Amino acid sequence: MDIRFLESLVAVVDEGSIAGAARVQMITPAAVSQRIQALERELSCLLLSRAGHKVKPTDACCNMLPRARRLIVESKALVGDIDDSGLTGTLRIGAISTALTGMIPRALRGIESVAPNAKLHVTPGTSIGLYRALQSDEIDASIMVMPPSKIPKSLRYWILRSEPLMLIHHKAIKGSITQILTDHPYIRYDPLCWGGQLAKQYLQDNGIFTDSIFDLDSLEAIAQLVSESVGVSLVPAWAGLDLQQLSISATVIKEVKYQRKMILMCPYHPTRPKLVDIFFTQLQDRMSV
């Protein structure tokens, strides 16, 4: 089975059309169609249902897609496997939203200078989703929040930074933490997120009862709403937050137990150990600047 044919199949499904897949792969629509037909003959089943210019995956296609995607990834990894330097191939990085803007860009620039032949594929997601992706070998490493439960021995991690919990509110608002939280609409950092659980714990520990008007898992969105005087919130002091630009005031909560720990996590024996080590080094170097 030709991996290129599987790549065309995945491209058609992702783009929703033969023409779209052809543009992505920079080949002709006829070539894409021929590859799909060859796969259908080899597998003795219909993979796509066609309706005009649009195509949809059949049930058989949906069943095989996860394995097809893994085969494509593994085939690309072969190049890195035969390189003694360990500085080629693709490193699959997962990152939560605040890391995408506050940590990843500078680290990627550093990697380009150290390992110019390496490629990085960044997958955004929540800490919970990325944790599962690590365990199922869908990514090689992830920047995420420290899990609240015990971490299995199959994974290892490094703490990148500890982010204190803080109350954020518009600069026009004055008062103590308790007064501000009880007197103003509360925008809640989603307690289903690991970071959001810390804010929830602080409220419980201090006997502060407030009804939230929103539950959001995007810290950037929360900060924007706070800057527009929609409400106040308890959030971690994440990398990249510019309080002055947003006209936000912040009161830091000093207790260590409410800090959100940002970590880089990977399998104990990663597929790309040298690239993971370089990525970690670049993260540390860029964060210390």
Consecutive H or E run containing 235 = strand 233-236
Structure tokens at 218: 């995007």
Packing angle, helices 18-25 and 29-43, rounded to 10: 110
How high is the pLDDT of residue 247?
A: 86
The DSSP output letter for 103 is T
Q: Are 287 and 161 within 8 A, CB to CB?
A: yes
CATH of domain 3-80: 1.10.10.10
- The SS3 call for residue 249 is strand
Structure tokens at 245: 């630009």
How high is the pLDDT of residue 130?
A: 94
CATH 1.10.10.10 maps onto the chain at 3-80
CATH 3.40.190.10 maps onto the chain at 83-161+262-288, 165-258
Distance CA 26, CA 12 (A): 13
Catalogue the long-range contacts made by 36-41 (C-beta closer than 8 Å, 24 or more residues apart).
36/5, 36/8, 36/9, 36/12, 38/2, 38/5, 39/1, 39/5, 39/6, 39/9
Distance CA 25, CA 82 (A): 26
How high is the pLDDT of residue 164?
A: 96
96-121 burial, b for 16+ CB within 10 Å, e for fewer? Answer: bbbbbebbbeebeebbeeebeebebe
Q: Are 66 and 74 within 8 A, CB to CB?
A: no
- The CATH number corresponding to 165-258 among 3.40.190.10, 3.30.1280.10, 3.10.20.740, 3.90.1150.10 equals 3.40.190.10
Q: Which residue has the tokens 């939280």?
A: 181
> Which tens digits make up the pLDDT trace of 28-40?
989 999 999 999 9
In degrees, to the nearest 5, what angle opens at C-alpha 165 toward C-alphas 162 and 171?
125
Instruction: Given CATH 3.40.190.10, say whether it is the number of domain 83-161+262-288.
Output: yes
Confidence of residue 88 (pLDDT cuts 50, 70, 90): low
Catalogue the long-range contacts made by 75-82 (C-beta closer than 8 Å, 24 or more residues apart).
75/3, 77/271, 80/272
The DSSP output letter for 117 is T
Q: What is the mean pLDDT of the chain?
A: 88
- Among 70-79, 94-103, 229-238, the range scoring the smallest mean pLDDT is 70-79
Q: If you write DSSP's letter for every residue of 151-217 in order, what string do you get?
A: PPTTEEEEEEEEE-EEEEEETT--S-HHHHHHHS-EEEE-TTSHHHHHHHHHHHHTT----EEEEES
- Nearest residue to 235 (alpha-carbon basis) of 224, 222, 245, 254: 222
> Which tens digits make up the pLDDT trace of 176-209?
999 999 999 999 999 999 999 999 999 999 999 9
Distance CA 264, CA 144 (A): 7
Whether the pTM exceeds 0.85: the reply is no
Confidence of residue 81 (pLDDT cuts 50, 70, 90): low
The set of residues, in sequence order, having a beta carbon less than 8 Å from that of 52 and lying 6+ positions away, is none
- Nearest residue to 246 (alpha-carbon basis) of 141, 171, 191, 144: 171
